[in-house]
Structure 1
Amino acid sequence: MTEQHRLGEVVKTSGIYKVVREGENAAFEVTCVEGEHFSPTRSGKGAHYELLHAATHSHKHAELRSGD
């Protein structure tokens, strides 16, 4: 089963998430950033987030770091 994240939780992994709302067939995708919170939905009822594709911020990627 896919890990589900609740509204208001802190995002631990940046990436593309699917927003699933209870009783609705139409999910949608959003980008969530590590350290921010999962945003509430308009209905707020039974909604959760599922990670589809994790992504590393460019400033944190070893191949892209500047020569500090």
Structure 2
Amino acid sequence: MAGDSSYKPGEIVKVSGIYSVVYEDGKDTFEVTCVEGEHFPPTRNAKGAHFELKYGATHSHKHEALKETQAQA
């Protein structure tokens, strides 16, 4: 269902995580990983397709608990 939490191909990803790719007819939905700062990918032959955030996640290099560990490595 499209709404405030749906994103079109080409828009910039604001939250890293797992997104559902939803087609206009609602069939053949699947999940993909999208990374903050990148663009949502184009979809083939799918007018009206959009992305919906299913599970958000902090990218490892931005997570506070991992910053010190990565600097020491």
TM-score by length of 2: 0.83
Shift of 1:23: 1.5
Q: Does 1:6 align with 2:41?
A: no
Shift of 1:55: 0.6
Q: Does 1:62 align with 2:64?
A: yes
Identity %: 57
CA distance in 1, matches of 2:24, 2:32: 17
Shift of 1:13: 0.4
Please tell me the root mean square deviation across aligned C-alpha atoms, in Å. Answer: 1.6
Q: 1:39 aligns with which of 38, 41, 52?
A: 41
Q: 1:26 aligns with which of 28, 32, 38?
A: 28
- Amino acid of the structure 1 residue aligned with 2:8: R
Higher percent of residues as helix: 2
TM-score by length of 1: 0.89
Q: Which residues of structure 1 form unaligned runs of 5+?
A: none
CA distance in 1, matches of 2:26, 2:66: 40
Q: Which residues of structure 2 form unaligned runs of 5+?
A: none
Shift of 1:44: 3.4
Shift of 1:24: 4.1
Aligned length: 68
SS of the residue corresponding to residue 18 of structure 1 reads: strand
